[in-house]
Chain A
């Protein structure tokens, strides 16, 4: 059937900010969808609050709205734009929920907007637990025993009936927010209570636990003509019990016979047909490892995280196809873009094994609970492709960038047997490595299986890896055959060197990475590159999508064009998010426009950069020296660009340059000058630019001495880190010692930086330089003063409170630093303003987190210009002048978004350590309106009246009182504990005193729980252990969805906003006689 002729204009809803459970995959999906719709000549209107996305580039849709995704704003856009259709299935759960809301509010009907892809009834049947179970019963599809509850008592009654453990799943929430497995009644009560709160309809499903079964997923597509296909199935390494987003996953399934495969395939098709979905759908099953018994766990009637993985794993672009289906195409008439000669109506077949490993934020959130369960905790993921499971998992492990490049975890050998046993049976993020450790200890496979319930097949492969390590260690001379086997099993040269060193002693042959590499090349052992082609080579394909393996035939065709390699930024983690992928994609486009071939290396399946359409060649490979070097040897590019791939790529610059690779853009020496503390200080001294006093120390004693000399408070952090990892403000010797002990490893190789902490306003600049001209698109002012990580601050463009002089100082410093560093490309500088003077805090000689935001609000295509500068063009020739770009009339605000609700035990206080996972933008003619939109977009509920609970540290009381007076005058009720209440009363305000945690119930936490406060204002008192009251108050607020503000600057901004948005009521002035 040809496309639906009634559709001319389509509204696409994006997924909003990146949070745990909803990440870059929806930028990939949304971008594909927009492109697919535009290809068909349709007018596309897009709404997404997330500026760090490719999809919100103005060339992606005819009209782009970066506005909050809520009923108010989306309805307004619908009324304004009058689209014919609404496509909500590519915007994750956010998009789907929005569609439901719009439909229920009658907006769609009122405005005559057709819901495309999935009908409201299907969304409800798949998402509403009750209706879902009813549907499964109709279809004869088994589901675990369960009950829908709306109260804790109902849950307890039901659990008593079916027995523990039970799984709690709140209805309509993202990534399993608020859910979990309950072993006891107490746990059940706690989980259900928060689950009901998180569920927008106050509903939870209590389900018999089927933990331990195999978890299998199917990605299914269907068109209006009822053609159905399975794109891919996947098998979880971790059995049921761990959220699929937190599981290691392989594609295709490995331990299912054809009968089991087809049984679940048929079930998936039956479900998608019954739901009448036109587009993509994801079905999750639990399969008993000892029979044909299976259960349907979940159905997602939309494109999901798994769809992005399946798309990259197979080459089949699910989101694009889903968009075409939504406008009336059928699968049999859409050409398969991979082969260009077959059609989309077929099932991809793989001739490789894909492994996905989640990337968790526990390296940043040391205090977080690392246990994995039904609530997702990972921020990102890596994917790797190999011809054996061993090769594939090895590649995935080294893509993670967690300090290991094989199945070895530092310190695992010191874990006691009993602890190891416990950790194997209760999965956490390190279990893969612990399984390897258990094999190293010679534990029998059966025992490990009993503990982990991981399928025998996977365990056997890990055991094989461990056993082969021994072969490498023990073989007297490293033979060609062993080396070849090792490479085919995915061992790196570095791993082989390490193992040889362990087995043969440091002096023996082949005990360094370089030596192994040389020996390997001498032996002619080089990887070949195979194509991902959806069809296992049955048809000729033209996709330039490759992975490496050690086999015979290399499929990469030589090309005569000059090539440039761009390094991606790997998995999404806190501090290195989608913003870097945004810049990477723009760099690739600029390179292609300039007539070169752009080659990209990356391993993140969620992103636009790993869409094979983005570059001329995509190498889905680890960003590990050896793998990158292999690609470079294959492609022989004129150079490599490292400045768009975040710290991941920057860290590779040194090793690559030493191996003779040309680094394009800012030189390695300049990168080093900006990153090396000593050299950087020298640079600033040379330029006579001020920076907060500081020093580098290499021992604890030195640290204490330095801190005393600088004067507390001081800012401490390890050198060479990203996103302020392990950065803290400490106020005393005691705190400093504690920090040195817990947070960092200090030695001459790992120095620690100590700076005087200046409590001033932070500003940030991104600049582009071609070596001659420095273009500054804009200055961003942070609402929160220094001490809150820049990524966690609300940033405002153009600055609202900076004097012309301060701006001039900052611009001047930026120009001088950029020139001195001979910057070619982007540079990011962070400043603190202290007593009307601008100090430099940090210089990042690369693309930064703020590039997409700033590009969008200033309309300066920053990554594009930077790339062109790198390729030799001059900014002057492109029509740009040195200095600050004229400021925009609109005000734009970038608001960070956090995922605290998903991470138990993490303190929501804003600190120098970055904690946010994503961002949204608010833009309007006035600051207050822009901020309002930004906060709304960040899902902050901002009632114009209500109660505020305040409990602030002594040092903040004076400041807090003044701010709170503003709220008081607006009519907010103030609730406060002891000291804070006293201070407020003294200032003449009426306050309701609230009991502290240590006092009798009802205390402050009870109030938060019962929903009696709209905001909690809490500033940090010393000591950050979870026992502290403040911590519990903040956590309670987060878990109850109450806005929790920990920086008085944010509170002040909020007040300013409320004051200017509200009509104030004032009595008439009394007539003076």
Chain B
């Protein structure tokens, strides 16, 4: 079956289709990871995007039940040099082809993916349309022009309901902007009592959960598309320890008065070097983002840059000068990618414990008594 990919700049790739049939549009991006296609496919941050894998053989180890980063893939298309129909791995349960078919995602293979990558590198990411049909190119062009990029990806991927993953440790409220399971996994592994809340949660709703700390998740798209999320974080600043990841980092930055911008072709892969400025240490990180915090917007805010990308020097980590709050642009939860930065979750929990030590709570009973007294007075009025 033939499949085609038409880019906004007019470049047309003709290859073979796999996965689902049909037509789909999205922002065409590339990921340089060699392994981890299942995690990439199911990472909600790719919502609405047509993802190209630069490694040419995809599907080698099939699809298994464990490596999903969310309940379903949200991508709008998958581009590979060669789709491997016969996987080999002890955990493989079915093929990449079947996964894409089940979720109605169009795949295209047998095109020059390196050429596509080079185009995206030079021109920046752009819109594309993927089809398995026989439409004329002009027709595809019209459809492409008529399809704006999504702006509601966070709403599409965030949980609709509050749910909890109980534990005996610190209570963490995880605001889900399209979270990867990895974040939840890292927190629960550390014994946290996690409550996952939707992106449009209000500050009061969070307060009512009496969290020890707030985790801002990763998520798809432009942080400026979710002003309500920024507002919520702004209200909670200083009240609770906060740790932001990826989109959560950008939302945190906006909440602190900094600004964000779009990168030419983003960072997507598992080999990005990040330098911790305090120590000079470098970490190889997993990344997936198209936007970044503007360097010159930090001035005048209460933020300090803690990490930078060692290659293009963009901001990779921030901390608040007064409040217990920090964030990173990359993915300490890995999956896919290296686990070098998982220590950040420990750092977050350490920060929570410090915060508690510095802000000792009054004994619960006294608090309760005060509340009860207040309620009694109210009732008497």
Contact = CB atoms under 8 A, between A and B. Distances in A.
Interface of A: 1, 225-230, 252-262, 265-266, 269, 289-291, 330-332, 341-343, 345-353, 387-389, 455-457, 460, 530, 535-540, 551-553, 555
Given A261-B34, A343-B311, A351-B56, 18 more contacts: A225-B280, A257-B61, A257-B89, A258-B33, A258-B337, A266-B338, A331-B282, A332-B273, A341-B311, A346-B310, A347-B284, A347-B338, A457-B87, A536-B54, A536-B269, A537-B117, A537-B118, A540-B121
A540 B117 CA distance: 11
Contact of A352 (B56, B60, B88, B310): B56
A538 B269 contact: yes
Contact of A258 (B36, B90, B112, B113): B36
A346 B284 contact: yes
B270 interface: yes
A266 B339 CA distance: 7
The 7 closest A-B pairs by CB, nearest first: A258-B36, A553-B115, A457-B88, A536-B54, A552-B112, A347-B271, A258-B336
B66 interface: yes
A388 to B, nearest CB: 6
A530 B113 CA distance: 12
B317 to A, nearest CB: 15
A229 B284 CA distance: 7
Contact of A530 (B32, B111, B114, B272): B114
B32 A538 contact: yes
A341 B67 CA distance: 34
A294 to B, nearest CB: 13
Contacts of A228: 284, 340
B39 interface: yes
A265 B82 contact: no
A234 to B, nearest CB: 12
Given A291-B90, A345-B310, A553-B114, A350 B280 contact: no
Contacts of B114: 351, 530, 536-537, 551, 553
A261 B35 contact: yes
A140 B56 CA distance: 35
B112 A388 contact: no
A552 B90 CA distance: 35
12 contacts: A225-B281, A230-B284, A255-B89, A332-B280, A345-B310, A346-B271, A349-B270, A388-B57, A457-B86, A535-B32, A536-B54, A540-B121
A32 to B, nearest CB: 22
B272 A346 contact: yes
Given A254-B60, A258-B337, A351-B114, A537 B54 contact: yes
Contact of B57 (A254, A257, A536): A254
Interface string B88-115: 1111000000000000000000011111
A257 B91 contact: yes
B157 interface: no
Given A229-B284, A350-B55, A553 B88 contact: no
Interface residues of B, number: 52
Interface in B322-336: 334-336
A155 to B, nearest CB: 34
Contacts of A349: 32-34, 54-55, 269-271
Contacts of B271: 346-349, 535
A262 B282 contact: no
B1 to A, nearest CB: 14
- From B39, B57, B336, B339, name the one whose CB has the most chain A CB atoms within 10 angstroms: B57
A346 B273 contact: yes
B301 to A, nearest CB: 26
B24 interface: no
Given A332-B275, A553-B112, A258 B57 contact: no
B273 A330 contact: no
A261 B337 CA distance: 9
B232 to A, nearest CB: 33
Given A257-B67, A346-B284, A349-B33, A289 B90 contact: yes
Contacts of B91: 257
A352 B81 CA distance: 10
A539 B121 CA distance: 7
B288 interface: no
- Of the listed residues A290, A345, A387, A537, the one surrounded by the most CB atoms of chain B closer than 10 A to its CB is A537
Contacts of A332: 273, 275, 280, 282, 310
Nearest to B87: A457
Nearest to B280: A225
B131 interface: no
Interface string B260-283: 000000000111110100001110
A249 to B, nearest CB: 16
A1023 B112 CA distance: 60
A265 B311 CA distance: 22
A351 B89 contact: no
Nearest to B39: A258
A876 B275 CA distance: 59
Nearest to A288: B90
Given A256-B61, A345-B273, A388 B56 contact: yes
A261 B86 CA distance: 20
B125 interface: no
B55 A257 contact: no
B38 interface: yes
A290 B67 contact: no
A230 B82 CA distance: 25
Interface string B10-31: 0000000000000000000010
Looking at B57, B113, B282, which has the most chain A CB atoms within 10 Å of its CB? B282
Given A537-B118, A540-B121, A347 B270 contact: yes
A342 B309 CA distance: 10
A16 B121 CA distance: 45
Contacts of A262: 334, 336-339
B259 to A, nearest CB: 25
B67 A259 contact: yes
Contact of A343 (B36, B60, B281, B310): B310
B90 A290 contact: yes
Contacts of A331: 282
B314 interface: no
Given A229-B284, A536-B54, A255 B88 contact: yes
Contacts of B334: 262
A538 B56 contact: no
A225 B114 CA distance: 35
A851 B116 CA distance: 47
A266 B82 CA distance: 29
Most chain A CB within a 10 A radius of its CB, from B38, B111, B121: B121
A349 B112 CA distance: 17
A942 B66 CA distance: 63
B286 to A, nearest CB: 9
B159 interface: no
A262 B33 CA distance: 12
A265 B338 contact: yes
A228 B36 CA distance: 21
A269 B338 CA distance: 11
B64 interface: yes
A230 B64 CA distance: 26
A342 B311 contact: yes
Contacts of A265: 338
A540 B118 CA distance: 9
B337 A551 contact: no
Given A225-B281, A258-B36, A460 B112 contact: no
Contacts of B88: 255, 455-457, 460
Contacts of B339: 262, 266
Contacts of A346: 271-273, 284, 310-311
B281 A351 contact: no
A288 to B, nearest CB: 8
Contacts of A260: 89
Contacts of A347: 270-271, 284, 338
Nearest to B334: A262
Contacts of B81: 351, 387-388
